[in-house]
Amino acid sequence: MERRVLVVIPAWNEAPNIEAVLAELRAARPADAMVVVDDGSTDGTAALARRAGAGVLQLPFHIGYGAAIQAGIKYGQRGGYRVVVTFDGDGQHDPADIAPLVEAVEQGADLVLGSRFLAPTAFRGSLARRAGRGILSIIARRLTGLSLTDPTSGLKALGPRAQELFALARFPDRFPDADALILAARARLHVAERPARMRRSRNRHSMHDGHRAVAYTFNMLLSLLVAAAGREADLRG
């Protein structure tokens, strides 16, 4: 039986989490293929993932979250998977939320996001993070006409057209969040949202903490404007 769904798990030094994340995924989604994208880890993440039976895409050095995701999407395209799901390697996502995302893609959506804010137990986060997300949400709505509650979500399901867009060489690989959504909207992809529960990851070294959240927001704002003005959305290249 050909597997239809590939779960891409970007991981950078996630040795404390990766085994539990993979075990949980395997239990919840036994029919799906899994590939861990090891983004230049130095703590043996790749070996742990291999031992857990996942496919491993080992990048020769650290190239960043977005580029790691992109590598996984390329892997999915070459393997001919209908749906590629991105699922963070730090344990913050719940495998139970994958099913509705995949279902939405099968019903015709190109790109489906897991949203914390549609879930019954709403995730809140620090004030800085909430403010940043609020601003991004408003701008993304202005620029795309999409009303998305959680544009920075790392839990996504991509159909073939979204995979094609995300695999472009010039796709924004530093901040593939709200700007990616703008590109998706401009490429006339059908974008949807489904509820997703987010957990505090067990051993977190999140990039969205403290002052980095501020820097991230500014980078994101600039990235949004570039996405809105640039030519990247043209799928024909």
Partner 1 sequence: MRQKIVFMTLALFLLLVIVELVRRRRLRVEYSWLWIAAGLTIVMLILRYDLLIVLTNAVGAVVTTSTLFFCCILYLALLCLHYSVRITALTREVKELAQEVALLKAEREVRPARQD
Interaction site with partner 1 (CB under 8 A): 35, 37, 55-61, 63, 67, 70-71, 74-75, 78, 169-170, 173
Shorter beta-carbon distance to partner 1: residue 35 or 136: 35
Nearest approach, Cβ of residue 47 and partner 1 (Å): 13
Shorter beta-carbon distance to partner 1: residue 135 or 225: 225
Query: Token digits for 57?
Result: 């895409």
Query: Token digits for 43?
Result: 């703590």
Nearest approach, Cβ of residue 169 and partner 1 (Å): 6
Shorter beta-carbon distance to partner 1: residue 108 or 237: 237
Nearest approach, Cβ of residue 68 and partner 1 (Å): 9
Nearest approach, Cβ of residue 76 and partner 1 (Å): 11
Shorter beta-carbon distance to partner 1: residue 77 or 206: 77
